[in-house]
Amino acid sequence: MPAVLDGVLYRLVADAAMVAHFLFLAYMAAGGFLAWRWPRTLWAHLAVAGWGVLSIVTGIECPLTLAEDWGRRQAGVAGLTPSGFIDHYIEGVIYPEEYTNLVRLAVAVLVVTSWVGYLWRRRHRDFSRA
């Protein structure tokens, strides 16, 4: 395979990982609201939110970050490490770095609100059927 084609394929891997990462973060922040309509999705959202908390608390690196970093480096482009996905695309780009804890708190409030709303809707639905 020609080297140019290799670079394009690796860049596609990196771009696909980047898109998946943004979708993952969007689902982490607001996916709990999907459970209001589709209750079975709550389990997936619990897992995603749990991963989010685990990655913040432990600093463990996300596999999507590793995949994008690998694809970028294989394509001959600068990788994400050591800064990582959030630092590269979000922190200092979408919001100033000094607001990181405030943004984390806002996301946590959004997630908890979605879960409380889910429980309220479920309880209200169960009582209306009785």
Question: Each residue of 13-42: pLDDT tens digit?
Answer: 999 999 999 999 999 999 999 999 999 999
Q: Is the pLDDT of residue 102 over 90?
A: yes
Neighbouring C-beta atoms of residue 122, cutoff 10 Å: 14
Mean pLDDT, range 69-98, rounded to an integer: 91
Q: What are 71's strand-pairing partners?
A: none
pLDDT band at 129 (very low <50, low <70, confident <90, very high): low
Average pLDDT, the chain: 91
Residue-range domain boundaries for the chain:
3-129
Q: What is the pLDDT of residue 1?
A: 58
Give alpha helix (H) positions in 59-99.
Answer: 63-74, 84-85
pLDDT band at 83 (very low <50, low <70, confident <90, very high): confident
